[in-house]
């Protein structure tokens, strides 16, 4: 491609973009915004996406995935059947056809694929199947952000596995995990595999492939030593020695705390640390009030509480329930004097003595409260969320807080979709079973953003060869110098004939402009045809590296060829 014909409008400055990677994608002429959360991919961006898609495609095919293409427009009725029409609510984009039939734009494709398989699969002999597609998804996100990181319309590879039993799903799942590792390695993205919750879709064994990045949207807790990592809402941690209190219990004191309802307010007002306060959270467990106690600097995990209590539903109590239990407005609950209510207490409070609690009276807190003496603990349990510093579940090293960009997601669906959509098969005995499913998503457009975020310098993006829009750029410093123009032209021809993807920077621009644009565009192999052209010498260098070599044109061709071959073979197309 000749740069003089290439549609890649570069920009010096952009407003409305905070993330460095996003800015560089805009500046480099890869993407342009159309509306909030909607982007056009320009020729260079589209080429990058296709490279990414092809890597994904190869690795999915390698684990026996079969590519399909499913409709973007779904009858809403299908989503009603699976129960997700209401679950997703307005996030699912809806529209009507001329007959007033309601359709939605595919936010994901479990329904469609399950319906498809349900219609065709009858026998265990037809299983297992793994189908995937690389297609556009639509979600009316409450807040799109970060350019391609979170869009309302975005590219994704979604795969679905269909097996006769859980063991079958397990096997495919493990294979896809390995495939994803290869995909990310080929894109030269480092990643952590973390545990996550099922979210809207549900399912188990939810794992996310995260690029650790400040630009990430998701908070994570990562082990500082081993590979354990999880999102804070599901992070577990290892046994922690809790030394029971050994300080002397002081006399309980009433402390006026006018208007002080939050931990922050109370700590400030009474000059105590959050870890010296015990929060009392009134919850409604199957409709009955329960008091859950956690340290002021901890967060109550309702899921844990639900499990410990063995109830069906758990939620924070409403104002009325709190008033009737504590006889005080919200913000002053405490365990002392509570009657007819179960008090369940986080185990780490065992270590606390003389702590502050609410006084069950407006504008009142109590100081020097002690468990056992001032109130009875009905049950000790682990009730809080993990936090940085907690010991790793696996190796006991401290967990650290981090942020990540979710690149991919895998989980097991069981029969969540096959049951309502009636995807079943007959086994050897003629018995009917619902198909066991798995779901495996990979964000292709998001991967562009992730690479841009990860692999860059102040001058622009530095694309790995595997996903670069072009592999080589030949920069002719001055097209008016015949020696340079001719040498550039012949190099362009030779490299193209070798099958390399080349941009020929032939524009009538100043050298500085061309260099800046080349760096911004991030094409990994640069050949500069300049003042040494008359002596039959050109410069070669890797984008992002300082070193440059003065070589003959033949050596330059050889060098490009070698760099590309070694990069693409190191990927190990398996």
Partner RNA sequence: CGGGGCGUAGCUCAGUUUGGUCAGAGCGCAUGGUUUGGGACCAUGAGGCCGGCAGUUCGAGUCUGCCCGCCCCGACCA
The single residue among 47, 74, 137, 192 that binds RNA, judged by CB under 7 A, is 137
Q: Is residue 143 close enough to count as binding RNA by CB under 7 A? A: yes
Which secondary-structure segment (H or E) carries 486?
A: helix 482-497
How many whole angstroms separate alpha carbon 78 and alpha carbon 552? Answer: 64
Least CB distance from residue 348 to RNA, whole Å? 23
Q: How buried is residue 568: exposed, middle or buried, by Cβ count under 10 Å (0-12/13-18/19+)?
A: middle
Cis previous bond, 428, omega within 30: no
How many whole angstroms separate alpha carbon 220 and alpha carbon 231? Answer: 5
Residues 524-553 that bind RNA (CB under 7 A): 528, 530-532, 539, 548
Least CB distance from residue 434 to RNA, whole Å? 21
Which region among 18-26, 305-313, 351-359, 553-561 touches RNA (by CB under 7 A)? 18-26
How many whole angstroms separate alpha carbon 137 and alpha carbon 440? Answer: 14
Which region among 19-27, 249-257, 294-302, 326-334 touches RNA (by CB under 7 A)? 19-27
The single residue among 2, 18, 378, 573 that binds RNA, judged by CB under 7 A, is 18
How many whole angstroms separate alpha carbon 328 and alpha carbon 364? Answer: 10
Which region among 118-126, 134-142, 305-313, 331-339 touches RNA (by CB under 7 A)? 134-142
Q: Is residue 520 close enough to count as binding RNA by CB under 7 A? A: yes
* Phi, psi (rounded to 5 degrees) for 187: -85, 0
The single residue among 129, 148, 156, 277 that binds RNA, judged by CB under 7 A, is 156
Pairing of strands 436-443, 153-163: antiparallel
Q: Tell me, by CB under 7 A, how many residues bind RNA.
A: 62
148 close to 22: Cβ distance less than 8 angstroms? yes
Which region among 66-74, 163-171, 270-278, 505-513 touches RNA (by CB under 7 A)? 505-513
* Residue closer to RNA (CB basis): 366 or 451: 451
26 close to 17: Cβ distance less than 8 angstroms? yes
The single residue among 519, 524, 540, 563 that binds RNA, judged by CB under 7 A, is 519
Residues 387-426 that bind RNA (CB under 7 A): 406, 409
Q: Is residue 23 close enough to count as binding RNA by CB under 7 A? A: no
* Phi, psi (rounded to 5 degrees) for 265: -65, -45
Beta bridge partner(s), residue 551: 538
Find the angle CA(541)-CA(544)-CA(546) to the nearest 5 degrees.
60
* Residue closer to RNA (CB basis): 302 or 352: 302
Which region among 64-72, 150-158, 159-167, 352-360 touches RNA (by CB under 7 A)? 150-158
* Residue closer to RNA (CB basis): 409 or 412: 409
Residue 283 is encoded by which pair of tokens?
Answer: 């919850």
The single residue among 145, 261, 323, 327 that binds RNA, judged by CB under 7 A, is 145
How many whole angstroms separate alpha carbon 274 and alpha carbon 257? Answer: 15
Chain-centre distance for alpha carbon 172: 21
How many whole angstroms separate alpha carbon 110 and alpha carbon 410? Answer: 13
Q: Is residue 199 close enough to count as binding RNA by CB under 7 A? A: yes
* Phi, psi (rounded to 5 degrees) for 222: -120, 140
Task: Give the binding site for RNA (CB under 7 A).
Answer: 10-19, 22, 27, 33, 35-37, 91, 107-109, 137, 141-147, 150, 156, 158, 196, 199-201, 208, 217-218, 406, 409, 441, 443, 459, 477-478, 480, 510-513, 515-520, 528, 530-532, 539, 548
């Amino acid at each position: 491609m000749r740069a003089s014909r290439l549609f890649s409008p570069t920009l010096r400055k952009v407003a409305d973009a905070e993330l460095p990677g996003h800015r560089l994608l805009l500046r480099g002429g890869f993407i342009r915004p159309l509306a909030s959360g909607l982007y056009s991919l320009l020729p260079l961006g589209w080429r990058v996406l296709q490279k990414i898609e092809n890597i994904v495609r190869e690795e999915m095919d390698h684990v026996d995935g079969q590519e399909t293409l499913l409709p973007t427009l779904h009858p809403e009725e299908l989503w009603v059947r699976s129960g997700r029409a209401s679950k997703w609510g307005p996030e699912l984009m809806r529209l009507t056809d001329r007959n007033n039939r309601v359709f939605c734009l595919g936010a994901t494709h479990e329904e469609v694929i399950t319906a498809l398989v349900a219609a065709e699969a009858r026998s265990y002999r037809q299983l297992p199947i793994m189908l995937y597609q690389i297609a556009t998804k639509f979600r009316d996100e409450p807040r799109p952000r970060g350019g391609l990181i979170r869009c309302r319309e975005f590219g994704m590879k979604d795969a679905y596995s269909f097996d006769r039993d859980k063991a079958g799903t397990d096997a495919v799942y493990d294979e896809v995990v390995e495939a994803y590792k290869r995909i990310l390695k080929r894109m030269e993205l480092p990643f952590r595999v973390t545990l996550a919750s099922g979210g809207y879709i549900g399912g188990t064994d939810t794992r996310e492939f995260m690029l650790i990045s400040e630009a990430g949207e998701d908070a994570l807790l990562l082990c500082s030593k081993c590979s354990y990592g999880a999102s804070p809402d599901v992070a577990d941690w290892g046994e922690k020695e809790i030394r029971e209190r050994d300080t002397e219990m002081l006399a309980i004191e009433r402390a006026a705390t006018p208007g002080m309802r939050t931990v922050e307010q109370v700590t400030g007002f009474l000059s105590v640390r959050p870890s010296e306060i015990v929060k009392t959270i009134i919850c409604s467990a199957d409709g009955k009030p329960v008091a859950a106690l956690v340290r002021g600097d901890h967060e109550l995990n309702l899921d844990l509480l639900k499990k410990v209590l063995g109830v069906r539903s758990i939620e924070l109590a409403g104002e009325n329930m709190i008033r009737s239990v504590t006889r005080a407005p919200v913000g002053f609950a405490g365990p002392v004097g509570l009657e007819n209510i179960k008090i369940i207490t986080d185990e780490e409070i065992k270590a606390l003595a003389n702590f502050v609690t609410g006084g069950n009276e407006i504008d009142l807190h109590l100081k020097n409260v002690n468990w056992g003496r001032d109130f009875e603990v009905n049950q000790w349990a682990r009730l809080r969320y993990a936090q940085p510093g907690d010991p790793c579940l696996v190796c006991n090293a401290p967990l650290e807080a981090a942020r990540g960009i979710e690149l991919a997601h895998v989980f097991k669906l069981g029969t969540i979709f096959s049951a309502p959509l009636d995807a079943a098969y007959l086994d050897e005995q003629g018995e009917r079973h619902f198909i066991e499913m798995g779901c495996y998503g990979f964000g292709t457009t998001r991967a562009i953003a992730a690479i841009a975020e990860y692999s860059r310098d102040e001058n622009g993006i530095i694309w790995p060869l595997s996903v670069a829009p072009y592999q080589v750029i030949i920069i002719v410093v001055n097209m008016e110098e015949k020696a340079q123009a001719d040498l550039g032209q012949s190099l362009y021809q030779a490299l193209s004939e070798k099958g390399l993807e080349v941009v020929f920077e032939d524009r009538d621009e100043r050298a500085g402009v061309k260099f800046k644009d080349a760096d911004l565009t991030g094409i990994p192999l640069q050949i500069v045809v300049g003042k040494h052209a008359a002596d039959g010498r050109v410069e070669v260098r890797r984008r992002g590296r300082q070193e440059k070599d003065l070589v003959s044109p033949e050596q330059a061709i050889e060098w490009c060829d070698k760099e590309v071959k070694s990069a693409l073979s190191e990927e190990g197309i398996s």
